[in-house]
Chain A
Amino acid sequence: MDNKNYGRLKVSSAPHMVSPTDTQRVMGMVLIALIPAFAVGIYQFGYRAVTVTAVCVASCVVFEYLLNKIMKKPQTIGDLSAVLTGVLLAFNMPSGLSYLICIVGALAAIVVVKGLFGGLGQNLTNPAVTARVFLFIAFATDMTTWPTARGQHLDAVTAATPLGELSHEGINAVTTSNLDLFLGNVNGCIGEISALALIIGGLFLIWKKVITWHIPVCFIATVFVLGLIWGGVTGCGALHGAIFQICAGGLMLGAFFCATDYVTSPTLPMGKIIFGIGCGLFTMLIRLFASYPEGVSFAILLMNILTPYIDKFCEGRMFKAPKAAKGGDENGK
């Protein structure tokens, strides 16, 4: 409708130039931002970090390719969103996971969560996060068997995560120092362990204007504030508790890379703030009161579902102010 040819000339509506940033570049930028976290994952968990990620990425891309073929839709694997889903899925898994489970996860993410809802842009929830939650429930044991990280200098093959220790035996059972948590000398999912690496990636995305600060800052700040209270109440020290809560588990990965997924998070700044605070609240509710040790994925999933309502609420607020003047557009030609 926007592009006609008259004789040899192309006639289309203005503008006649576009910014070089397309969807592929946006996704590529997020992938670049995940490199530091990947590097830490490889260092800590060895070759399995690479193979699990490779299997997840490859199966996501293949599923997307096949789904487009079957549904006779234009091919979309070039936009890199399937690659990103694969990476995020792998980063949310322990490195010792069987490859078959990885493929099941990719199937859930790409086909069920994204493809069947209409593909990129139409999915209600984040594919990687939803698939992870599904695997977490369906393959509970496999998904919570944590190979030890090289930086832990332990003889054991597997060990509990700090949040696991906290959930089952209380704060005094946590053996990992906050510094090790920050640097990533801890077991956990492939891509979530190093808060430092994830913060570097997240700041890169904010600097490149791929994401805005609202969601990660509000998410992390909410957890931090609740962590202060929790630290004070449990007696491990307010600040110590708060830093532990923001560095532990998948919080940084979730806050910078999963919660900021454009499609499944609110568009307007106010909505992003509500979304971030909501994610933080639910994360802490689950961590402290529910039977699961970690709540980031559940919190993001829940807020994903609330996103259309948050968007609607914010849109309504935004346009409550004076009505638009009827009449002309002064630049209309």
Chain B
Amino acid sequence: MGKHLNSVKVSHEKHTAACATEIMAIPETVCISMSQHIGAPCQPQVKKGDAVKVGQVIGDTDAFVSAPIHSSVSGTVKEISTVRSMMGGQDTVVVIETDGKQEVWEEVKPPVINDMKDFIAAIRASGLVGLGGASFPTHIKLNPKNLDEVETLIVNAAECEPFITSDHRLMLENTTEIVEGILAVMKYLNLKAAHIGVEENKPDAIEALNKKIAELGHSDDVKVNVLRARYPQGAERVMIYEILGKTLNAGQLPAELGVVLSNVTTIAFIGQYLKTGRPLTTKRITVDGNAVNRPTNIIVPIGARLSDVAAACGGYKAEPKKIIMGGPMMGRAVFSDEVPIVKNNNAILFFDGNQALIPEETACIKCGKCTRACPFNLLPVSIAAAYDRKDADKLDALKVMQCMECGSCSFICPARRPLSFINKMAKGYLKEATSK
């Protein structure tokens, strides 16, 4: 591929790439949120005092865009309450006191699948959502309206965010599940080909995948695409362009280009679920940052609090000044380490004072680096000016809606302007202005 979208070179910081995944001890309590996906929140299916087991459904809803939530532990429901969500709203949570036995729910058994319908039903029952970050319910994503036009599966294994190595470890440690997951999706969705997009900075993962694909005799229809190690290679629209050369506009679904795209962790979960029937109750995450003693990769129960996760990684070695859920480019800074792990977490970064330092904003020198960094050639400086004067028509003309908030412009800006944040505000403003 000769042509590439604009990108930035970020320092990879993959300190934990060689850290084999550990398993976290079950904490005394877990706090499982009922809003772990895009769509309608779940209603608690248990009440205070109920005994629950691992894999038991504790939250569900009839809404179409949603996915059930399962208990990650065995124990007793201590309370059903609300906590402040990261978005500022109130989330219902089920707090469970664990008994340490980790007894598995009786109804957890491998699903019986005969056709596409069974497959989609099983995916919904598993509670699977997009684990790369978007947390869109997978059973909807894998069942597009124009399924007969969809021919290609793209597995996103770029892991372009700095620090995060959980997908990398997954590719080394669960290679079989990944390939089996791919084959299952191809079989039930009747797809012709699959591409796994991996950044070139993970040669061992590429080798392991290629070996496993050859072993299972699928070298002709499952391909590993080696991508440049540039940010944001793992953004959906960037990945589709880099692998297939097709342009996906904001608001368009990949299926319109004949593609379903899924994160590698999501795919590996499908492979594992079809074998064991064990719903989504744990998550492999990377723990890193200068404030934590022992950066590593660790499988944590969903609902574990970040303070418990830090304790499992040797505790704090310095006072954390910023805690990020996700990577440093698109992750969310949380306001407390009491926040629980949710399904789409793939990393927790505990930054000390130095790492949390935000350089002061200086004057724009019109260097244009933001535009040269933007995968879609947007003009963050013009957008910021138009947002400043609340000019909705101009914002629309500048295609601000194409912005996916990858943060490349803010990252590259020598004047340290929060351009990505301004884009986000501008998008919000434009949505509001056009809906009137």
- By a beta-carbon cutoff of 8 Å, the part of chain A in contact with chain B is 2-3, 6-19, 21-23, 25-26, 76, 79, 81, 119-122, 262-263, 267-268, 315, 318-319, 323-333
In the assembled complex, which residues on chain B have CB atoms less than 8 Å from the CB atom of A9? Answer: 320-323, 333-337
In the assembled complex, which residues on chain B have CB atoms less than 8 Å from the CB atom of A262? Answer: 365-368
A262 vs B324: C-alpha distance in the bound complex, in angstroms? 34
Q: Are A319 and B398 in contact (CB under 8 A)?
A: yes
With A17-B10, A22-B414, A329-B403 given, is the CB distance from A121 to B336 under 8 Å? no
Query: Which residues of chain B (360-395) have a CB below 8 Å from chain A?
Result: 362-368, 371, 377, 379, 381-382
**A interface footprint on B169-188 (CB within 8 Å = 1, 0 otherwise):** 00000000000000000000
With A26-B365, A324-B250, A328-B251 given, is the CB distance from A18 to B332 under 8 Å? no
Binds A, one of B114-122, B204-212, B293-301, B405-413: B405-413
The answer to whether B329 has its CB under 8 Å from any CB of chain A is yes
With A10-B333, A15-B330 given, is the CB distance from A326 to B420 under 8 Å? no
The answer to whether B146 has its CB under 8 Å from any CB of chain A is no
Per a CB cutoff under 8 Å, which of B249, B323, B358 touches A325?
A: B249
- Can you list 16 A-B pairs with a CB-CB distance of less than 8 A? A6-B336, A9-B335, A9-B337, A10-B358, A11-B322, A11-B333, A19-B412, A21-B412, A22-B414, A120-B363, A120-B365, A319-B398, A323-B396, A325-B249, A331-B236, A333-B135
A-B contact number at CB 8 A: 182
A333 vs B331: C-alpha distance in the bound complex, in angstroms? 10
Q: Are B398 and A26 in contact (CB under 8 A)?
A: no
Q: Are B363 and A122 in contact (CB under 8 A)?
A: yes
In the assembled complex, which residues on chain A have CB atoms less than 8 Å from the CB atom of B1? Answer: none
In the assembled complex, which residues on chain B have CB atoms less than 8 Å from the CB atom of A323? Answer: 396, 399
- Given contacts A121-B363, A267-B379, could you give 9 more A-B pairs where the C-beta distance is less than 8 Å? A9-B322, A9-B337, A16-B322, A18-B359, A18-B413, A22-B415, A23-B362, A262-B365, A329-B403
**A interface footprint on B326-361 (CB within 8 Å = 1, 0 otherwise):** 001111111111000000000001010001101100
Q: Are A14 and B332 in contact (CB under 8 A)?
A: yes
In the assembled complex, which residues on chain A have CB atoms less than 8 Å from the CB atom of B201? Answer: none
In the assembled complex, which residues on chain B have CB atoms less than 8 Å from the CB atom of A10? Answer: 321-322, 333, 356, 358
The answer to whether B401 has its CB under 8 Å from any CB of chain A is yes
Per a CB cutoff under 8 Å, which of B328, B332, B379 touches A315?
A: B379
Q: Are B410 and A330 in contact (CB under 8 A)?
A: no
- Residues of B in contact (CB 8 Å), total 74
A15 vs B251: C-alpha distance in the bound complex, in angstroms? 23
Chain B residues touching A, majority SS? loop
In the assembled complex, which residues on chain B have CB atoms less than 8 Å from the CB atom of A119? Answer: 363
The answer to whether B418 has its CB under 8 Å from any CB of chain A is yes
Per a CB cutoff under 8 Å, which of B328, B398, B405, B424 touches A17?
A: B328
Per a CB cutoff under 8 Å, which of B371, B405, B411 touches A331?
A: B405
In the assembled complex, which residues on chain B have CB atoms less than 8 Å from the CB atom of A319? Answer: 397-399
A19 vs B416: C-alpha distance in the bound complex, in angstroms? 9
Nearest chain A CB to B100 CB, angstrom units: 30
In the assembled complex, which residues on chain B have CB atoms less than 8 Å from the CB atom of A315? Answer: 379, 382
Nearest chain A CB to B6 CB, angstrom units: 12
The answer to whether B305 has its CB under 8 Å from any CB of chain A is no
With A15-B411, A22-B416, A325-B250 given, is the CB distance from A8 to B321 under 8 Å? yes
A12 vs B358: C-alpha distance in the bound complex, in angstroms? 9
A86 vs B434: C-alpha distance in the bound complex, in angstroms? 49
Per a CB cutoff under 8 Å, which of B251, B332, B414 touches A327?
A: B251
Q: Are A268 and B401 in contact (CB under 8 A)?
A: no
Per a CB cutoff under 8 Å, which of B11, B381, B427 touches A329?
A: B427
In the assembled complex, which residues on chain B have CB atoms less than 8 Å from the CB atom of A122? Answer: 363
A169 vs B214: C-alpha distance in the bound complex, in angstroms? 79
Q: Are A329 and B401 in contact (CB under 8 A)?
A: yes
Question: Which of B162, B324, B362, B396: most chain A Cβ within 10 A?
Answer: B362
Per a CB cutoff under 8 Å, which of B328, B335, B371 touches A7?
A: B335
The answer to whether B104 has its CB under 8 Å from any CB of chain A is no
Question: Which of B330, B335, B366, B411: most chain A Cβ within 10 A?
Answer: B366
Question: Which of A14, A119, A268: most chain B Cβ within 10 A?
Answer: A14
Q: Are B434 and A14 in contact (CB under 8 A)?
A: no
In the assembled complex, which residues on chain A have CB atoms less than 8 Å from the CB atom of B139? Answer: none
A14 vs B377: C-alpha distance in the bound complex, in angstroms? 20
A122 vs B38: C-alpha distance in the bound complex, in angstroms? 43
Nearest chain B CB to A16 CB, angstrom units: 4
Nearest chain A CB to B383 CB, angstrom units: 11
In the assembled complex, which residues on chain B have CB atoms less than 8 Å from the CB atom of A324? Answer: 249-250, 396, 399-402
A100 vs B335: C-alpha distance in the bound complex, in angstroms? 58
Q: Are A330 and B333 in contact (CB under 8 A)?
A: no
In the assembled complex, which residues on chain A have CB atoms less than 8 Å from the CB atom of B10? Answer: 17, 19
Per a CB cutoff under 8 Å, which of B135, B320, B355, B404 touches A330?
A: B404
In the assembled complex, which residues on chain A have CB atoms less than 8 Å from the CB atom of B404? Answer: 329-332
In the assembled complex, which residues on chain A have CB atoms less than 8 Å from the CB atom of B324? Answer: 16
The answer to whether B319 has its CB under 8 Å from any CB of chain A is yes
In the assembled complex, which residues on chain A have CB atoms less than 8 Å from the CB atom of B135? Answer: 333
With A9-B322, A12-B358, A15-B420 given, is the CB distance from A26 to B414 under 8 Å? yes
A9 vs B333: C-alpha distance in the bound complex, in angstroms? 9
A326 vs B400: C-alpha distance in the bound complex, in angstroms? 10
Nearest chain B CB to A325 CB, angstrom units: 4
Nearest chain B CB to A208 CB, angstrom units: 12
The answer to whether B235 has its CB under 8 Å from any CB of chain A is yes
Nearest chain A CB to B248 CB, angstrom units: 8
In the assembled complex, which residues on chain B have CB atoms less than 8 Å from the CB atom of A330? Answer: 134, 236-237, 250-251, 404
A2 vs B371: C-alpha distance in the bound complex, in angstroms? 21
In the assembled complex, which residues on chain B have CB atoms less than 8 Å from the CB atom of A6? Answer: 335-336
Q: Are A263 and B365 in contact (CB under 8 A)?
A: yes
Question: Which of B162, B356, B411, B414: most chain A Cβ within 10 A?
Answer: B414
With A12-B358, A16-B322 given, is the CB distance from A331 to B133 under 8 Å? yes
What residue of chain A has the Cβ atom nearest to residue B373's Cβ? A19
In the assembled complex, which residues on chain A have CB atoms less than 8 Å from the CB atom of B397? Answer: 319
Nearest chain B CB to A203 CB, angstrom units: 19
In the assembled complex, which residues on chain A have CB atoms less than 8 Å from the CB atom of B410? Answer: 14-15, 18
Q: Are A325 and B368 in contact (CB under 8 A)?
A: no
Q: Are B133 and A23 in contact (CB under 8 A)?
A: no
In the assembled complex, which residues on chain A have CB atoms less than 8 Å from the CB atom of B335? Answer: 6-7, 9, 11
Q: Are A8 and B363 in contact (CB under 8 A)?
A: no
A318 vs B396: C-alpha distance in the bound complex, in angstroms? 13
With A324-B401, A324-B402, A331-B404 given, is the CB distance from A22 to B359 under 8 Å? yes
Q: Are A326 and B401 in contact (CB under 8 A)?
A: yes
In the assembled complex, which residues on chain A have CB atoms less than 8 Å from the CB atom of B412? Answer: 19, 21
